Copies of this chain bind each other. A is one copy, B any other.
């Protein structure tokens, strides 16, 4: 998951945190998120779990998948109606996808507000 905490140097090394605390902290981040962006090129139970929870919370979700030969993204992710999946190449490609996703969400939000 991309959070504003990524790259933050003063973050506690989470291997020393009890799992329940890791879980609650990550769930709080999810609940407070306007949208969710996940990098899904590597199989991960934790990322999959957070995606499942985020879908049930109704969060807008973008999954970024790096082009790879002979590897298929899980059908549970690419087939989820609650998830937009985009294949990208390189950091610039990922940034463009995220930018487009945010712009589309903003536009939709403005349209909803106008119609109120």
Q: Is the interface of A mostly helix, strand, loop or mixed?
A: helix
**Could you say which residues of chain B place their CB within 8 Å of the CB of A55?**
49, 52-53
Q: Which of A8-52 contact B (CB under 8 A)?
A: 14-15, 17-24, 26, 40, 42-52
Count contacts on A: residues with CB < 8 A to the other chain.
38
B75 touches A44 (CB 8 A): no
B44 touches A79 (CB 8 A): no
Residue of B nearest to A38 (CB): B45
Q: Does A7 touch B at the CB level, under 8 Å?
A: no
Q: Does A70 touch B at the CB level, under 8 Å?
A: no
16 contacts between A and B (CB under 8 A): A19-B75, A19-B76, A20-B79, A20-B81, A22-B75, A23-B76, A45-B45, A45-B74, A45-B76, A46-B77, A48-B52, A49-B76, A50-B52, A52-B54, A52-B56, A53-B55
Interface on A for B, CB 8 Å cutoff? 14-15, 17-24, 26, 40, 42-57, 72-81
